[in-house]
Amino acid sequence: MKVLFQNGEIVWDAGNNSYGVVLNNYAPNDYGEIRLDSDGNQPTENLHKLGSEGDKGTKKKLIAALLAHKHLVTNWPEHNYERVFY
């Protein structure tokens, strides 16, 4: 199975109008959804890679998402969350 999104990748979530970082792509299984740090499990059809044609987010929303992810990673290091792929 081809993995559409890598753990740590930044995506635009069109369903929630926000950016998120992939925490779990559930590879090698295909559940049709992945887990984001911003709003939990989301269907892959609503997700667009950063900078792709479907990415409709703003710079302000991207910065907010990255700051939120940094907060998650630094405050709960015991979970070993993936670092963001910039």
> Does residue 42 fall inside a structural domain?
yes
pLDDT single digits (tens) 22-50: 988 888 776 788 999 999 999 999 999 99
Which residue type, as a one-letter code, is found at position 83? R
Q: Are 42 and 36 in contact (CB under 8 A)?
A: yes
Residue 3: the pLDDT is: 63
Phi-psi map region of 28: left, alpha, beta (phi>0 left; psi -120 to 50 alpha): alpha
> Does residue 86 fall inside a structural domain?
no
Q: Model pTM?
A: 0.85
> Does residue 31 fall inside a structural domain?
yes
Domain of residue 17, residue span: 10-79
> Does residue 2 fall inside a structural domain?
no
